[in-house]
Structure formats: C-alpha cells, structure tokens
Copies of this chain bind each other. A is one copy, B any other.
C-alpha cells in the first residue's frame, strides 16, 4: 500500500510478483490464518478456541489493524494530536501484537484480571515496537534495518520523533518498556522470556 521497493533488505512482493498477486497473497494469508487456528485445535476446549479466534478477528478487523491502516493513511500530511498518534499505532500494529499475547493467554485458560494484565502487556509491547520503529526511521542504519531511512518523514506521516522530538520520544520508549515489564508483575511464574522480549524491542537496531 505504501509501494515500498524494499522491506528488511529484500525486494517487496509487489515488485517481484506484481501488485495484484501481492494483494492476493495477503488476502490468502489473512484467511488461511483462521483456517489454521480453527483446524489445528488439538484437545483444547472448544470455548477457548472460539474466544481466541474471536480475539484475533477483532484485533485485525475494522476496530484493529485494518482500521489503524486506514487512519494512518487518512492522516498523512495532517496535524494530529499525540492521542491520535497513539491511537493509530495502537490499532495499526499494537492490536496484532497484543492479540499474539492474549490469544495464547486465552488458550491457556487465563481469565479476568490476569487476562487483562496480559492484554496490557501486549498493548504496551506493541506501542514500544512502534516508538522504536519511528526512532529507527530517523536515526536507523538502513544497512541494518533493510529499509530506506526517513521514509515516514518524506510521506508526511506523524511519528513520535516528529511530534515529541527525538529526546522525548526516547524517554517515552524507556517509560513504555518499564511499564510493559510491570504488567507482568502479577505472575509468580518465571517470565524471563517476556521481560527479555521488552528489552530486546527497546534496544533493537533493526
């Protein structure tokens, strides 16, 4: 949709296979995801499988990823508030990352406050991913990121560095990383992987 030639150092599908085939591949994966979720349910309780699929559908539909992509494009070259910026990011990339955590939690039987805390963890992890993505766009090494730098700025997209400045955006990234880890404090079990994931996203260079 943004017609980029490269993503993570590789030519994009629309350049190699043409726009129509790239679109169809996306549509096919979108549906195939539901097929796989519904088919490979093993001995999991049916109620949990239904709720996990519903969680994923909500996260990717008009009130999630697709809605966020729409807002992101509609707001190009416009002045937007910090709240709108956060909302766009929460929908466009945050909801899918959030659902990747919460569907696992639902299948594992999490409920109530525990499920909500894990949803918050996923939401903050997604926000952290987006802030660091914005920062990499302005100061990233395009050899490492595999994308051309400053593409967002060229397109007139609102980003965290553009609205807050680089230093303040870095502060927000730090605070979001800390908040993300605190969302796990209710867990008595070992959750090193999940705290390390927040650290990894905070320090990533690509």
Contacts and interface: CB of A to CB of B under 8 A. Distances in A.
A20 B73 contact: yes
Say which size band chain A's interface belongs to: 20 to 34
Contacts of A21: 70, 73
Nearest to A37: B57
Contacts of A53: 34, 38, 53
B57 A35 contact: yes
Contacts of A66: 24, 27-28, 31
20 contacts: A20-B73, A21-B73, A24-B66, A24-B69, A24-B73, A26-B27, A27-B30, A30-B31, A31-B57, A31-B61, A32-B57, A32-B61, A32-B62, A35-B58, A38-B57, A39-B54, A41-B50, A46-B46, A46-B47, A50-B50
Pairs of residues from A and B, 4 with the lowest C-beta to C-beta distance, nearest first: A31-B61, A35-B57, A46-B46, A38-B54
